[in-house]
């Protein structure tokens, strides 16, 4: 299994630009999570999906952030317009329901720098 | 919502000694408590987890204990080795893992040779 795949791995952009982060969960996993990691705030949950449906987006910082999951194998996190305080590592994670298989597996992350 | 406190923020131990990291949580509905290890520049990786129907779980040199009454759980690493050096995060979830995780702020574990 390839694990959770994220792209791009690194992104440098200028303030005001649109940024799109992409995630492919592990095949067969029906939960997908987006987290953000910064030195100041640590690891924070932004939003998560179950069977492609957003369940909890209370962690999304503001309207500049949006996330979609058009199908079971793809999700995007979009920031428009981006600001320097959005600089962080964004992780996608996936898990599946049932039994003892609730472990959340993290992708390699996208390191975002907004200048 | 859930709030997870983690202590200490930095822990330095001699190689071969034991290390203990402690976390407390606020939401009595939380029932799943994973621990993740994150090396510099890498993704968090699960090292052990415990569910609220279990008081202790061991996996070789790693053990986790849970006190539901006091709402705290701890990670114990015995016979520490240089490769144990990393940042460790505790987390809590009310959904058995099929729910967003609330993380502690992390403990930077340093193993002194």
pLDDT tens-digit map of B76-101: 999 999 999 999 999 998 876 667 89
Residue B36 host element (H or E): strand B32-38
Longest distance between any two alpha carbons in chain B, whole Å: 41
Contact list, B96 vs chain A (CB under 8 Å): 102
CB of A54 less than 8 A from some CB of B:
no
- From B101, which residue of chain A is nearest by alpha-carbon distance? A45
User: Among B1, B70, B41, B53, which Cα is nearest to A45's?
Assistant: B1
Note whether A91 contacts B43, CB cutoff 8 Å.
Answer: yes
**Higher-scoring residue by pLDDT: A13, B55:** A13
Average pLDDT (A91-110) is 84
- What is the pLDDT at residue A52? 94
Q: Is the pLDDT of residue A101 over 80?
A: no
Instruction: Please tell me the predicted confidence (pLDDT) of residue A1.
Output: 63
Given this model, what pLDDT does residue B96 score?
65
pLDDT the model gives residue A99: 54
Q: Does B44 touch chain A (CB under 8 A)?
A: yes
Per-residue confidence (pLDDT) for residue B97, from 0 to 100: 61
pLDDT over 90 (residue B46):
yes
Q: In this structure, what are the phi and psi dihedrals at residue A89, rounded to the nearest 5 degrees? A: -100, 125
Choose the weakest-confidence range: A71-80, B57-66, B97-106.
B97-106
* C-alpha torsion sign, points A29, A30, A36, A41: negative
Cβ(B97)–Cβ(B9) under 8 Å?
no
Distance of CA A93 to CAs A4, A41, A49, B13, B14, Å?
A: 7, 18, 11, 31, 34
Kindly report the nearest CA distance between residue A31 and chain B, in angstroms: 7
Q: What are the φ/ψ torsions at residue B83 (nearest 5 degrees)?
A: -70, -5
């Amino acid at each position: 299994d390839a694990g959770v795949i994220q792209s791009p791995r690194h992104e440098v952009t200028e303030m005001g630009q649109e940024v799109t982060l992409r995630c492919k969960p592990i095949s067969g996993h029906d939960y997908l999570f987006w987290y953000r990691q910064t030195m100041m705030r640590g690891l924070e949950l932004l939003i998560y999906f179950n069977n492609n449906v957003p369940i909890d987006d209370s962690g999304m910082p503001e309207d500049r952030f949006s996330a979609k999951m058009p199908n079971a194998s793809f999700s995007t996190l979009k920031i428009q317009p981006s600001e320097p305080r959005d600089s962080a590592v964004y992780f996608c994670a996936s898990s599946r329901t049932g039994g003892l298989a609730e472990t959340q597996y993290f992708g390699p992350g996208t390191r975002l720098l907004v200048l | 919502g859930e709030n997870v406190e983690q202590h200490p923020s930095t822990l330095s131990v001699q190689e071969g000694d034991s290390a203990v990291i402690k976390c407390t949580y606020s939401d009595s509905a939380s029932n799943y408590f994973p621990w993740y290890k994150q090396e510099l520049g890498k993704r968090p990786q699960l090292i052990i987890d415990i569910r609220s129907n279990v008081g202790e779980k061991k996996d070789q040199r790693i053990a986790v204990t849970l006190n539901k009454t006091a709402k705290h759980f701890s990670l114990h690493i015995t016979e520490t080795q240089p490769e144990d050096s990393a940042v460790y995060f505790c987390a809590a979830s009310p959904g058995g893992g099929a729910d967003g995780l609330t993380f502690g702020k992390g403990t930077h574990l340093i193993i002194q040779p």
